[in-house]
Chain A
Amino acid sequence: MNFDYNEEQQLLADSVRRFLAKNYGFEARKKIVASKQGWSAEVWTQLAEMGLTGLPFSTDYGGFGGGAVDLMGVMEAAGDALLVEPYLPTLMGGLLVARAGGDAQKKALLPAVVEGRLKLAFAHSEKGARYNLARVGASARRSTGGAGSAWEITGEKLVVLGAEAADRIVVSANTDKGLSLFLVSRESLRVRPYVTLDEQRAGDVGFAKAQGELLGAEGGALPVIEEVMDFATALVCAEAVGAMKFACDTTLEYLKTRKQFGVPIGTFQALQHRMVDMYVAHEQARSMACLACSKVDSNSGAGDRARAVSAAKIKIADNARLISQESVQLHGGMGMTEELKVSHSFRRLTMIAQQFGDADHHLARFAALDK
């Protein structure tokens, strides 16, 4: 057992952190969030140049062949900076291609993802499905008129992160043989866009007989979807740790500098203990994020992986709520304003608590795995 990042991981994390500190300060981010597109193409290009878009993909396609642990430091830095670029959706789409796709599809898509030329999104969640990955109503059937390999997909997907930014979207739908994945080009879909609570861009995606290409084999896609969702969940846990660290640091600073009754408010023991609980919650979250990332990288089986990821997500969800709420509360009125970054880390952490399943969902999943 070993908790150290290797030298490469450390260097990468440092350089991402430096880049974001320099180019993605709170003021810069504000402008990006307020822009029409809602993310920065320039930042995207630089993330790709640093190799971030290639991290988890095989060297066969120009990637680094890394895993979740290699991405931990990057995600933590992203969480600290509250990055809104469609990085996670692109990684998820790419991983689905890598895990499910045929050779030709991988060759056609992955190098472009690695080089930052292709952005992807994953359209899966549907109305009424809640967090249950198996419940999909969208359907696909082979086109009658067109070429032999074309499919027509019909359905509606909700809250697809990065839907507008994506060049191609990976869509889940049922065929006669069960749950399958398809690649659909962005133009053939109707996206109703919005800004999410955490200031990312997402949209509801509707498609009626949209032309798509089957990704890999027909049917049996659920295990791949679960695997990629677990991977993404582990990454979001690491991201949460970055946002928590920011929220804790900035609150601690505030307790030391804000004066009331002639003394820094950090001298009140009632607040000292609250701050300590935040700090402890962040450390516990970090431990669980390490566990989740390590387990998604090891070959100890889907059950072992799912158990660790759900445990981590339970802890992250609870602690994200505690830290986000307390960070605002201890700032008093200032914590409520849009002007302070702490209200934005609040929003991100609130979303992370529910992203890919809330605590109750993962409690149920964990309990079921334990049987």
Chain B
Amino acid sequence: MDLNYSQEESAFRDEVRGWLKANLPQDLRDKVVNYGELTRDDLLRWHKILAKKGWVAPAWPKEWGGTGWNVVQRYIFEEECGFAGTPPIVSFGMHMCGPVLLRFGTEAQKKRFLPRMYNGEDFWCQGYSEPGSGSDLASLKTKAERASDKSGDHYVVNGQKIWTTLGHYADWIFCLVRTDSTLAKRQEGISFLLIDMRTPGITVRPLVLMDGGHEVNEVFFDNVKVPVENLVHEEGKGWTVAKYLLGHERMNTGRIGASKRELAKLKDFAARQPGDDGLPLIEDARFRDRLTRVEVELMALEITNLRFLDQMRRSGQPPGADVSMLKIKGTEIQQGLTELSMQAVGPLAQPFRATGTDLEDGAFDRFTAGLAPRYCNYRKTTIYAGSNEIQRNIISKMTLGL
């Protein structure tokens, strides 16, 4: 056993770091680091820069634009991006729908969707959850009925999705729909459909979260016509697709690089901010202990993640139920960091939203301004992508056999 990076791995890290330093636009980095709201254009601008370099889909097969990196290199790349403060690559296309099409899509579907996805020409969103179907996804009710007319065979979709992240930016949505409601086993009546967001009958309504931001939506389907060629895998096999995809989704929620960046920022702030006794806060033993605990959690997560990746490299198997662990720990750490940041700024954590204009200094300096909304916003991380309770259920059932 040797937990040091090899010379080649370190060289790779240097290469990535150097390239990011030279190519990450300063304004985008500023927005990310200061918790600014990333617009559709911001997200796509970064996506396109990476696509041009050939680094936007490291995990895809080489023929579709993958980098051929091994899992450790991919991990290093992710970490460096997080640490540098790049905008995220929106997962719905590259990390979810893409892998699904690569695994289950027809040649025609791959040719039609993957290059546009890769080049950032289509913005994707995920239509799984419904008002009555969150944790119990298999109970979903949005209905797709087969019909045909002179334009050809199609599905007619009716129903509602909710919590659709960035649905207001999206060109396409991948949906789980019910194509058969007569079956005793609910999972068997579900299918996976790709739907053009511009199709008549689709309405997107914003939902405002408690931080005041608009990132999720309700999406309504009223007699929406979807060509049958937009069905992925077989009719009634949507659940298989969904399960495959969830594994990918969870592998992506650890955000170790970003947490490292937050931790470094917090340490830097605590070194400048006086504690109650006037000495730098970082010298306050109570605060220092809290900080160290998060840091140690992060180290444990990082090594666990690498250990899983190493297993994957050897076995060639996709991550099993234990990847839920990475989601649980990764999100707890992300939340822990937002909580500690609030604590670090102390009384200055209170300002939330300016009503005047001249707020450059005083309580509203750049570090403190975004903290309270961010603390609120990050409560979502233990709820979305399968709540942490559901992740525990998965480990309990699948790994432990309870």
Contacts and interface: CB of A to CB of B under 8 A. Distances in A.
Interface of A: 38, 125, 127-132, 135, 156, 158-159, 192-199, 201-202, 204, 206, 259-262, 265, 268, 270-271, 321, 325, 328-329, 332-333, 335-339, 343-344, 346-347, 350-351, 354-355, 358, 360-361, 363-364
B379 A325 contact: yes
B352 A333 contact: no
B283 interface: no
Contacts of B278: 128, 132, 135
Nearest to B359: A192
B209 A360 contact: no
Given A159-B363, A336-B210, A260 B350 contact: no
B346 A130 contact: yes
B362 A156 contact: yes
B347 A159 contact: yes
B380 to A, nearest CB: 5
A206 B356 CA distance: 15
B286 A364 contact: yes
Contacts of B163: 333
A262 B380 CA distance: 24
Closest 4 CB pairs of A and B: A343-B210, A204-B362, A260-B136, A197-B372
B210 A338 contact: yes
B213 to A, nearest CB: 9
Interface in B58-117: none
A192 B372 CA distance: 18
Interface in B29-63: none
25 contacts: A128-B273, A128-B274, A130-B273, A130-B275, A135-B278, A158-B347, A158-B348, A159-B348, A193-B356, A195-B354, A195-B355, A197-B350, A204-B363, A260-B134, A261-B135, A271-B389, A333-B163, A336-B209, A337-B207, A343-B209, A346-B210, A358-B346, A360-B284, A360-B287, A363-B286
A199 B352 CA distance: 8
A132 to B, nearest CB: 5
A297 B103 CA distance: 71
Contact of A270 (B276, B342, B389): B389
A187 B306 CA distance: 61
A239 B162 CA distance: 35
A328 B379 contact: yes
A38 B352 CA distance: 14
Given A192-B364, A196-B352, A364-B286, 20 more contacts: A130-B347, A131-B276, A131-B346, A194-B353, A195-B355, A196-B350, A202-B351, A260-B135, A261-B135, A332-B135, A333-B129, A335-B383, A336-B383, A338-B209, A343-B210, A346-B210, A346-B376, A350-B376, A360-B287, A364-B276
B398 interface: no
B148 interface: no
A270 B391 CA distance: 12
A197 B352 contact: yes
Nearest to B210: A343
B277 interface: yes
A203 B353 CA distance: 11
B212 interface: yes
Nearest to B286: A360
Contacts of A336: 209-210, 379-380, 383
B164 to A, nearest CB: 11
Most buried by B among A192, A332, A339: A192
Contacts of A344: 210
Contact of B276 (A38, A130, A355): A130
Nearest to A259: B132
Contacts of A271: 389
Interface string B327-361: 00000000000010011001111111111101100
A232 to B, nearest CB: 14
Contacts of A38: 355
Contacts of B273: 128, 130
Interface string B280-302: 01001011000000000000000
Contact of B347 (A125, A261, A338, A360): A125
Nearest to A346: B210
B192 interface: no
Contacts of A338: 208-210, 212
A158 to B, nearest CB: 5
Contacts of A132: 276-278
Most buried by A among B136, B162, B347: B347
A333 B275 CA distance: 36
Contacts of A268: 389
B233 interface: no
Contacts of B358: 192
Given A354-B347, A364-B286, A347 B387 contact: no
Contacts of A128: 273-274, 278
Contact of B350 (A135, A337, A351): A351
A301 B392 CA distance: 50
A199 B135 CA distance: 31
A2 B350 CA distance: 37
Most buried by A among B134, B276, B393: B276
Most buried by A among B343, B358, B375, B392: B343
A361 B276 contact: yes
B12 interface: no
Contacts of A261: 135-136, 139
Contacts of A127: 362
A125 B363 CA distance: 11
B19 interface: no
A347 B372 CA distance: 9
Nearest to B134: A332
A347 B351 contact: no
A325 B274 CA distance: 28
B382 interface: yes
A271 B355 CA distance: 40
Contacts of A135: 278
Nearest to A263: B136
Given A132-B276, A159-B347, A343-B210, A194 B359 contact: yes
Contacts of A333: 129, 134, 162-163, 216, 380, 383-384
A339 B206 CA distance: 12
Nearest to A360: B286
